[in-house]
Structure 1
Amino acid sequence: MFRPRLALASLSGEADADWALAAADHVGAAFLGGIALDEASREAAREMVADRDRNEFLPPDPIAFVDDQLAELDGAPVRAGVNVRSATVEPIRDAARICADHDAVLEINAHCRQEELCAAGCGQTLLRDADRLCEYVRAASDAGATVSVKVRTEVPGVDLPETARRVAEAGADAVHVDAMDSEAVVADVVDRADAFVIANNGVRDRESVAEYVDHGADAVSVGRPSDDPEVLARVRAAIEDVVAAEAHS
């Protein structure tokens, strides 16, 4: 899906095309966003900006914004992706068409746990409604996009490996797992889902990279330190070394 097998994970209000280009020497992919697509998700984002002093992307036309951002990355040495939130399926389909035009990955956000987003039917609410999540995946896949689903472990009542299996069968090409403090769940996702698995959370050095690769992850991603070239260079060297060692073992 991308090489080197290191991605930048989306950071709301910060992960734009300039952010991706600044790290392009170190990573194989960069997930922009998250982008709130429909009115319910945009209202939730506005509430978070007002009440939590958060950064959020709130352009007047989110689909045009996705198109413009991806256009800035056309020809760049990094696979672009866009992490999106929506309480309804049609904007997912629209964003997926734009991603397909730019050979970018459409990443469905089933990850965010903020109360405002969950109340709107976005984020990890989708993990508790696998039927609707699979509907989103099918819509994006049918629109021609490469599809990733961003998920998290430790959501009460959610069998994450089973959900990962279902979204892969619905057409997801990748499952991007925020492992929280349950790193071993990555191995269960790998076992159950026929998809490219990206592991996230605490990726900083060779030890953390090796742990996720030992669990079967195909790639890793970096979140908060994504603007630190020293961390990115260290993680890139680690993932290349560890993957090479695995291939020759």
Structure 2
Amino acid sequence: MFEPRLALASLSGEADAEWARAGADWAGAAVLGGVCLDRSTREAARAMVADRDRSEFLPDDPITFVDDQLAALSGVDLRPGINVRSTTAEPVREVAAVAADHDAFVEINAHCRQDELCAAGAGESLLREPERLEALVAAAATGADVSVKVRTELDGVDLVAVARRVEAAGADAMHVDAMDSEARVADVADATDLFLIANNGVRGRESVREYLEYGADAVSVGRPSDDPAVLDRVGDAVAEWFAEEQSPREVEP
């Protein structure tokens, strides 16, 4: 899906083309966003900004905004993704067509835990209603590669069952925020053929190797994605792991 197997994870209101360009020396992918696409998610984002001074992307035309941001990464040596929030399929289908024009992937946000977005029917609420998540994945898969961003710690959510359902709906990848439940990555890896991106606490060699040993195909860095020292450590650890994996094994005589 991308090389090297290090992604920059979306940061609300911060992860734009300039941010992605700054991390391109280390990363194979950068997920811009999240971008609210439909009326209910945009109203929720406006309330979050007004009530809690959160940073959110709220352009007048989100589809044009995505197109412009992806175009700004033309010629940059990484694969872009766009993290989107929506409760309806049509804008997801539209943004997927734009993403495909830029060889970008769409990441369906089933991860955000903000009360306003969950009340609107987006974010982590989709993990409790996987049939709605399937519909969004299927809409995106009509035009682009699809990742689904999830979290692991929700009571009553069978993440393996969700992973199987989104894979059947057309997802290519799952971006797993392990939230101190790192072993859940192994559960999904064992149950699906999804490309797994592991997130949360990725800071250096130990955390990288833990996730990759559990079966992740790549790791992502969130909050420290603008810290060259962290990206150096993580990038070196990823390169080391895959060099070891591809080296011929010594055979006892």
Please give the range of the TM-score, normalised by the shorter of the 2 chains.
Answer: over 0.9
Match status 1:139 vs 2:145: no
Q: Secondary structure at the match of 1:140?
A: helix
Q: Aligned letter for 2:224?
A: P
In the alignment, the residues of structure 2 paired with residue 87 and residue 218 of structure 1 have an alpha-carbon distance, to the nearest angstrom, of 29
Q: Aligned letter for 2:78?
A: V
In the alignment, the residues of structure 1 paired with residue 126 and residue 243 of structure 2 have an alpha-carbon distance, to the nearest angstrom, of 36
Residue 247 of structure 1 corresponds to 246
Q: CA RMSD in A?
A: 0.8
Q: Secondary structure at the match of 1:237?
A: helix
- Identity value in percent: 68
Residue 12 of structure 1 corresponds to 12
Deviation at 1:51, TM superposition (A): 1.2
Residue 94 of structure 1 corresponds to 94
Structure 1 contact 213–243 (Cα < 8 Å) conserved: no
In the alignment, the residues of structure 2 paired with residue 168 and residue 247 of structure 1 have an alpha-carbon distance, to the nearest angstrom, of 27
In the alignment, the residues of structure 1 paired with residue 105 and residue 167 of structure 2 have an alpha-carbon distance, to the nearest angstrom, of 15
Q: Aligned letter for 2:147?
A: S
State TM-score, norm by structure 2.
0.96
- Is the deviation greater in 15-24 or in 46-55? 46-55
Structure 1 contact 212–220 (Cα < 8 Å) conserved: yes
Q: Aligned letter for 1:29?
A: A
In the alignment, the residues of structure 1 paired with residue 18 and residue 67 of structure 2 have an alpha-carbon distance, to the nearest angstrom, of 14
User: Paired residues, what number?
Assistant: 248
Deviation at 1:88, TM superposition (A): 1.0
Q: Deviations over 1:100-151 (max 9, x none)?
A: 1111010000000110000000000111111111111111111x20100000
Deviation at 1:247, TM superposition (A): 3.1
Match status 1:191 vs 2:190: yes
Residue 220 of structure 1 corresponds to 219
Q: Aligned letter for 1:217?
A: A
Residue 51 of structure 2 corresponds to 51
State TM-score, norm by structure 1.
0.98
Structure 1 contact 164–193 (Cα < 8 Å) conserved: yes
In the alignment, the residues of structure 2 paired with residue 39 and residue 243 of structure 1 have an alpha-carbon distance, to the nearest angstrom, of 43
Match status 1:148 vs 2:147: yes
In the alignment, the residues of structure 1 paired with residue 192 and residue 85 of structure 2 have an alpha-carbon distance, to the nearest angstrom, of 22
Match status 1:122 vs 2:142: no
Structure 2 runs not aligned, ≥5 long: none
Residue 165 of structure 1 corresponds to 164
Structure 1 runs not aligned, ≥5 long: none
